[in-house]
Chain A
Amino acid sequence: EPEVTQTPSHQVTQMGQEVILRCVPISNHLYFYWYRQILGQKVEFLVSFYNNEISEKSEIFDDQFSVERPDGSNFTLKIRSTKLEDSAMYFCASSEQGSVTEAFFGQGTRLTVV
């Protein structure tokens, strides 16, 4: 069964460092997303990406964040200068047809900023 895969599963980084979280969406999906979940809180939308550009981003997704689809299979989230409050689970998701179909999520990357 096709699935969304994320690497690494856990990343520890020092405050101020750059991190790149990687995702391989389901192969025939066209819409890609990043969400985050701070421990004990809701899953929050960060950004949606379609046709090689951002289609929507939340207030959380400020200039420190960027996304890229560097090739035909990977989708990355970069945080340029991490802060303590960036510590969270980050989930990548993909869907076939955006706001018409369901999204499938990866298992997440736990980011710990120290």
Chain B
Amino acid sequence: EAGVTQFPSHSVIEKGQTVTLRCDPISGHDNLYWYRRVMGKEIKFLLHFVKESKQDESGMPNNRFLAERTGGTYSTLKVQPAELEDSGVYFCASSSYKNTQYFGPGTRLTVL
């Protein structure tokens, strides 16, 4: 069974540009989560999808971040426009109902 995959693994962009991160959850997992780890800080929750619906987006830092999960399969996280403080590692995780979350390898985003 394939695990959670994320694309790209690394992204380097300039301040003001747009970046879109993608997450493909484990097949059949209705729950999809996004997390972020800014350098030197804790891994922080961003939001949670149940199928295509946003269950909890309390961790989204501001309106420059837009997450979607059309069709309840893969998810994208768009940052527009990117700022320096958005640099970090973005993790995606998926789970079936109430079960353990399985994490992807992360996307390392660097904003210059």
Do the two chains belong together in a single complex?
A: no
